[in-house]
């Protein structure tokens, strides 16, 4: 009887982990990309400011450093994580409620920034301990395949979710009910918050031993494999943040996409990513996560190159092509980066390693966006011209992201893969 209970707990944990990830993904979809651009547009934000705000998601990773101290000697983290998620997801709901409030625009902007930034700060603080807790449920030999399965569930369910959300949003706005659409968005997030909390409750936590502590900064600096791997994460954050934060506004404004078409893009993204995730997971388990990363970064570079030529005349075709290539790449990139860290650092030391890599990556990404933001504003101010050429800001930032990703591929091929083969 006791053996059966133990087996049930082992099966329940991973299943709830998959459900939890899907519900969290739904909320993230509602506060990023075109959905975020729609909210900021209603508050009068410029494209460059929206890009910087989107990149705050990356800068928020700095607050993961707080997890090292907050959870360093903590025997359990489950209760803190659940409470923190309740707060951060309630703040995300407020992000939708605020545009519908009968307040002065300056007041709404201030409240929006406080809620949006506060939600991401809390979310990022709990990422390392939460990841360490949930990944402990999975055998190291099955991490690649399990991650793929988890992503497939999130993507396919997210596909259905975004289709109905986008269609509903377009219908309400076509009827002149933008205020109602924002209120409904907030209610949906609150409902997802309740379901997300219920998905975390049944997951068991393995108590840490009294002597188990996160790796110190000195120990991580002395870890040569970790120090060689760290630039992969930093360079990718620079490349990604140089371009993607500006794509949401580009879809809505210059390319003129409806929210229904944005939902179609999400469906295409989900189908493509879900279809390749199992193969990439098997590749990582069979070869290595560095080999999977090499392949995925090559595909990401191809996607940025395609977007360099995306303009309103070909927007639906070219942006869809880019988005599908980006979906294939992201099916392996996020998993490969975290698992490259897991390969470098074992046990409780993973918490500090994840926090530091995420924090540094976030800073690099935010600086990258801040550098590109005035360039975007300058090109728009010149009537979408640069050096005498007709060019949209999104085309320029895509070209920059392509070049940086190519440099990342060179580093990965010359530094990381040879070491993994020895």
Q: Supply 188's token pair.
A: 């949906």
Question: For 347, which DSSP code?
Answer: T
Q: What is the CA radius of gyration of the chain?
A: 21
- pLDDT, position 140: 61
Query: Containing H/E element for 382?
Result: none
Contacts of 128 (CB under 8 A, 6+ apart): 64, 67, 68, 71, 350, 351, 352, 354, 355, 358
- pLDDT, position 5: 37
- List phi, psi (to 5°) of 223: -85, 100
The whole-number mean pLDDT for each consecutive block of 10 residues of the chain, a chain of 422 residues, reads 43 78 90 80 74 66 62 66 90 91 85 88 78 70 71 83 84 84 92 92 66 57 78 90 84 81 82 80 73 88 94 90 92 78 68 75 85 87 82 91 94 74 48
CB atoms within 10 A of CB 419: 12
- pLDDT, position 265: 85
Q: How far apart are CA 411 and CA 168, in angstroms?
A: 45
Alpha-carbon dihedral angle through residues 86, 118, 154, 334, given to the nearest 10 degrees: -130
Q: Look at residue 219 and give its three-state secondary structure.
A: helix
Query: Containing H/E element for 74?
Result: none
- List phi, psi (to 5°) of 383: 75, 35
- pLDDT, position 215: 52
Nearest C-alpha neighbor of 339 from the set 243, 405, 416, 244? 416
Q: Which residues face 186 on adjacent strands?
A: none
- pLDDT, position 332: 83
Cα→Cα distances 193→36, 87, 188, 197, Å: 18, 9, 9, 6
Q: Are 252 and 38 in contact (CB under 8 A)?
A: yes
Q: Supply 124's token pair.
A: 């990022």
Q: How far apart are CA 100 and CA 183, in angstroms?
A: 7
Angle at 64 between CA 59 and CA 66, to 5 degrees: 120
- pLDDT, position 64: 63
- pLDDT, position 3: 37
3-state helix, strand, coil in the chain (%, to 5): 80, 0, 15
């Amino acid at each position: 009887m006791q053996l059966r209970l133990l087996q049930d707990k082992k099966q329940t944990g991973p299943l709830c982990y998959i459900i939890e990830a899907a519900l969290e993904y739904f909320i993230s979809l509602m506060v990023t990309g075109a959905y975020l651009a729609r909210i900021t547009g209603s508050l009068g934000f410029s494209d460059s400011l929206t890009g910087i705000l989107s990149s705050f998601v990356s800068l928020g990773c700095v607050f993961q450093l707080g997890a090292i101290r907050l959870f360093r000697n903590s025997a359990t983290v489950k209760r803190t994580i659940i409470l923190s998620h309740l707060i951060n997801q309630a703040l995300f709901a407020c992000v939708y409620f605020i545009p519908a409030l009968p307040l002065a625009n300056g007041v709404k902007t201030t409240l929006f920034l406080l809620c949006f930034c506060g939600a991401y700060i809390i979310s990022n603080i709990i990422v390392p301990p939460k990841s360490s807790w949930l990944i402990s449920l999975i055998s190291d030999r099955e991490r690649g395949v399990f991650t793929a399965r988890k992503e497939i569930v999130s993507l396919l369910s997210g596909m259905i979710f975004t289709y109905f959300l986008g269609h509903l949003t377009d219908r309400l706005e076509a009827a002149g009910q933008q205020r109602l659409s924002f209120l409904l968005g907030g209610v949906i997030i609150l409902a997802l918050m309740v379901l997300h909390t219920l998905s975390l409750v049944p997951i068991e936590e393995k108590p840490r031993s009294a002597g188990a502590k996160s790796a110190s900064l000195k120990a991580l600096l002395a870890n040569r494999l970790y120090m060689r791997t760290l630039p992969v994460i930093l360079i990718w954050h620079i490349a990604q943040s140089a371009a993607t934060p500006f794509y949401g506004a580009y879809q809505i404004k210059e390319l003129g996409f409806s929210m229904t078409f944005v939902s179609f893009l999400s469906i295409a993204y989900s189908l493509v990513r879900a279809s390749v995730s199992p193969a990439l997971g098997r590749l990582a388990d069979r070869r290595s996560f560095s080999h999977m990363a090499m392949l995925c970064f090559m595909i990401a570079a191809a996607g940025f190159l395609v977007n360099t030529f995306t303009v309103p005349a070909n927007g639906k075709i070219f942006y869809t092509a880019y988005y599908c290539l980006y979906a294939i790449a992201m099916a392996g990139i996020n998993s490969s980066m975290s698992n490259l860290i897991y390969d470098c650092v074992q046990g409780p030391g993973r918490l500090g390693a994840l926090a530091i890599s995420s924090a540094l990556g976030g800073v690099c990404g935010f600086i990258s966006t801040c550098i590109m933001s005035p360039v975007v504003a300058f090109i728009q101010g010149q009537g979408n011209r640069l050096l005498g050429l007709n060019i949209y800001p999104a085309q320029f930032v895509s070209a920059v992201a392509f070049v940086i990703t190519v440099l990342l591929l060179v580093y990965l091929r010359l530094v990381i893969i040879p070491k993994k083969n020895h």
